Homo-oligomer: A and B are copies of this chain.
């Protein structure tokens, strides 16, 4: 898990601290004080304040593009200082540090991406509860203060706990020294599209800076609906798939860079035009 000889270890940083304070900069200072050779990469500091779900989506769609050995620090932490756990999770050669509040849901989604059917009733979409780790992942609760800053505040564990732990890990400190193993992690129930009378009904997972609407409907599922499917969103119907954002005009449906069905407005902001937000329904059906 340590980086290649001669190459700097990589830490990514995803937070809701914004760019107008120095909170993220301070975390970088703490890490560089422990490992001055670190390469620290901003994933984003502009998650909406306390929007754990948005942070989870961005982290979950980004981490695989980094090389194995990368350490991903994610801090969207409305419960900082309460008894929520702080986590270290590892799998597929990557390490994740985050509060135990759902922020790792999309990283760990292989186990969590469908409604639980064991209990006989369906959970609410986006419900958060503790669920077992998927195969190939293991995790620890960060409980060993030896690797933290000497004085831990109750409001900024990014600086006092997550940053120093990340830096010590980058120098080769063993993950199992950071705290006790845990077998469950808090995750959102990421809703899966379901069939309703010939329509595949999914929902909006994310709206990006351009107003592109990212859904939970995979490109594969859409492909099963024939050459000319109809996408229904925000009271509008879009006929057929476009190859690109730049093709056609008005509202277009296409396979986005995340591999999911997206809805875009050519030269405009689809989410604003449609009044659509995360969680809203999106349906796909075959052309009639």
Contact = CB atoms under 8 A, between A and B. Distances in A.
Interface in A231-267: 243-247, 254-257, 262, 267
B246 A58 contact: no
A72 B6 CA distance: 25
A131 to B, nearest CB: 22
A29 interface: yes
A22 B257 CA distance: 12
Contact of A43 (B25, B32, B80, B246): B25
A81 B18 contact: no
Contacts of A262: 155
Contact of A208 (B21, B25, B154): B21
Given A209-B20, A257-B159, A28 B41 contact: yes
A215 B83 CA distance: 26
A30 interface: yes
Interface string A23-67: 111101110110011011111111111100000001101110111
A17 B49 CA distance: 19
A276 to B, nearest CB: 17
A7 B36 contact: yes
A244 B20 contact: no
Nearest to A259: B153
A223 interface: no
Nearest to A212: B155
A79 interface: yes
A246 B81 contact: yes
B70 A154 contact: no
A247 B81 contact: yes
16 contacts: A6-B37, A7-B37, A14-B22, A14-B25, A18-B209, A19-B19, A19-B46, A22-B44, A26-B62, A26-B65, A29-B62, A32-B41, A78-B246, A155-B255, A156-B257, A159-B257
Given A22-B59, A82-B246, A155-B257, 19 more contacts: A10-B36, A17-B209, A18-B46, A22-B43, A22-B44, A23-B208, A25-B41, A32-B39, A33-B67, A36-B39, A40-B41, A50-B267, A80-B244, A80-B245, A81-B243, A82-B247, A84-B246, A154-B244, A159-B257
